[in-house]
A and B are shown apart, each in its own frame.
Chain A
């Protein structure tokens, strides 16, 4: 996966549904249009949840991958709603 230069990092490791998306929602609200949020999670449900959440909120999921230690890394670009 392409590496993205994140503006903020959210460590959601150890959290289970719905807390990763709750924290991501809170974090991204304070960010500027076009900024990138990197989220690290261990909840396997996040693989389905973050794409769905990005679709619902209009933010863009740039990509995600699984680290060698099993943690999941998501890159989400904030898209301000018009």
Chain B
């Protein structure tokens, strides 16, 4: 039986707060992360993979939607496709100051890419291959954008094992159930 005497306004407010806190704790969106990877250079391949694998390690269901140049990251030839260019990239640390005309010379993209890979490996940063392996192993959902695949002329068998295919609706469906949504 309800003791109405004790059911003061303060007590009711407290009960509501407790219920809300409980509901928040169970909120499934807290356990989901949805990232969009839109860039296809070596440096920009890292953030979506790092965040998604860290989310998975924290017990979240993570998905990455690869669109436009982001498709490079899950293409079977990602090792060759992911490069970094020093041209018009003033943030790129170079061993010595270089005028733009020099960074635009043939071979400079290969040089800068090799330099970045070397620098990352020396510091102990995981490679893109390692991060992709972790992502697949920890059930990160990898979705390639079918529309941009069609535009670039890619077929489904050109992508690494485990990649799914979808469009904007599939991406949004994941996003609306996730508190963490990032466009990279």
- Given A17-B50, A18-B53: A25 touches B58 (CB 8 Å cut-off): yes
Whether a CB of chain A sits under 8 angstroms from the CB of B60 is yes
> In the complex, are the beta carbons of B57 and A14 less than 8 A apart?
no
Whether a CB of chain B sits under 8 angstroms from the CB of A48 is no
Q: Which residue of A lies closest to B126 (CB)?
A: A19
Encode contact with B along A26-56: 1 for CB under 8 Å, 0 otherwise.
Answer: 1000000000000000000000010011001
B133 to chain A: closest CB distance in Å?
11
Whether a CB of chain B sits under 8 angstroms from the CB of A65 is no
Other-chain residue from B50, B51, B59, B123 in contact with A25 (beta carbon distance below 8 A): B59
A22 to chain B: closest CB distance in Å?
5
**Which residues of B in the span 52-71 have a Cβ within 8 Å of any Cβ on A?**
53-54, 56-60
> In the complex, are the beta carbons of A22 and B53 less than 8 A apart?
yes
**Which residues of A in the span 1-27 have a Cβ within 8 Å of any Cβ on B?**
14-19, 21-22, 24-26
Whether a CB of chain A sits under 8 angstroms from the CB of B116 is no
> In the complex, are the beta carbons of A22 and B123 less than 8 A apart?
no
New contact pairs (13) apart from A21-B58, A49-B54, A53-B54, CB-CB < 8 Å: A16-B123, A17-B50, A17-B54, A18-B51, A18-B54, A18-B57, A18-B126, A21-B57, A22-B56, A25-B58, A25-B59, A53-B57, A56-B59
Encode contact with B along A53-72: 1 for CB under 8 Å, 0 otherwise.
Answer: 10011100000000000000
